[in-house]
Amino acid sequence: MAEETPPVDEMNYEQLAQDAKRGVIRSALERAAMPEGIPGAHHFYVTFMTRAPGVSVPPDILAKYPEEMTVVLQHQYWDLKVEPTRFSVMLKFGGMPKVLAMPYTAVTRFYDPSVQFLLQFEPPATVEDSVVEIPASEPGRAPAPEGDDNGPKVVSLDQFRKK
């Protein structure tokens, strides 16, 4: 009896599905970037690989989170720029404004706890020493508001991970 060759997925459906799910992230961030911000009680936990290709994280943040980090977009974020393949956002860390930029392919988890909505992805390949330093301010870009540091906090999810 001859063995049948398993079918080959020449459409690459798994990758198409991953791309479609990343489109959900892009659409949610596009709404968050509108002047009225994130609607209702929605807020986003975005986990990403800090050394994935195309990720731009300031060196001090990278030193603290050398592999993965989670940021929360809720009330205090600035200059959210959503592009077809990547996004960037300014957050405060220890009272200092910092810009993080990443392609959607670097995102490993997107979670909106207000409605228990979760998307998970396989981690991308990482690139050592490919971090680009972002200047403190760019021409035409408004600085982050000053004041107390009641803004978003970095949340480490390491304690919740299975070992």
Q: Is the pLDDT of residue 105 over 60?
A: yes
pLDDT (mean) for 133-142: 45
> CA–CA separation, 130 vs 110, rounded Å?
24
pLDDT (mean) for 118-136: 64
Query: What is the pLDDT, as a whole number, of residue 123?
Result: 75
